[in-house]
């Protein structure tokens, strides 16, 4: 498999483009959003697209990289994952054990904060038009109330700073 990055005007995002090799038409995904703020020393550590059912979800993981630990200030999160895709990405999940714990404003729209106790996952999810977004992290089992609040604050700060 090979990939080729080609700079196109943003106005083309979401519109079909003809493949010069085989003539097939492909719909361009919107440019994935990126955080305007990350904890000190954090950077992009993994980036990939997941295709299935005719849709593509772009995922980027941010963290301190190899050998790094949790965020400064003691928030026990070693990585945050940003998912950018169809509207379903921005809807609360229906997994057993996952529940909405808050609703708040992110980038001019209402977002939900959800928490799944089984996997100790927390995510901020919202939709912007035909685009669904989520910022998620996994944290240690049996966290204190203070830890849960700190993880939520971290995810919300990253979500609000996307550009």
Query: Which pLDDT does position 89 carry in this prediction?
Result: 93
CA distance 13 to 79: 28
- Of 46-55, 61-70, 89-98, 119-128, which gets the smallest average pLDDT? 61-70
**pLDDT at position 9, please?**
65
- In the chain, the number of structural domains is 1
Inside any domain, residue 15: no
In-domain check, residue 51:
yes
Classify residue 143: in a domain, yes or no.
Answer: yes
Tokens of 32: 């994935």
- Nearest CA among 153, 80, 146, 75 for reference residue 113: 153
∠ CA 100-29-110, rounded to 5° = 25
**Are 60 and 72 spatial neighbours (Cβ–Cβ below 8 Å)?**
no
Structural domain contains residue 11: no
pTM for the complete prediction? 0.80
Q: What range does the domain containing 124 cover?
A: 31-160
Note the pLDDT of residue 1. 46
Question: Is 6 domain-assigned?
Answer: no
Task: Tell me which of 64 and 155 has the higher pLDDT.
Answer: 155
In the predicted structure, residue 118 carries a pLDDT above the cut 80:
no
d(CA 83, CA 77): 17
Q: What is the pLDDT of residue 28?
A: 61
């Amino acid at each position: 498999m090979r990939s080729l990055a080609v700079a196109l005007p943003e106005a083309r995002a979401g519109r079909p483009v003809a493949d010069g090799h085989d003539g097939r038409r492909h719909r361009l995904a919107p440019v994935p959003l990126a955080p305007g703020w990350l904890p000190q020393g954090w950077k992009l550590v993994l980036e990939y697209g997941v295709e299935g059912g005719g849709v593509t979800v772009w995922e980027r993981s941010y963290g301190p990289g190899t050998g790094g630990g949790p965020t400064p200030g003691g928030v026990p999160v070693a990585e945050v994952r940003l998912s950018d895709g169809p509207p379903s990405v921005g809807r609360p999940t229906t997994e057993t054990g996952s529940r909405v714990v808050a609703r708040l404003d992110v980038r001019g729209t209402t977002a939900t904060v959800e928490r799944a106790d089984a996997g100790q996952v927390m995510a901020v999810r919202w939709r912007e038009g035909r685009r669904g977004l989520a910022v998620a992290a996994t944290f240690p089992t049996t966290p204190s109330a203070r830890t849960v609040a700190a993880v939520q604050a971290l995810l919300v700060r990253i979500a609000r700073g996307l550009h």
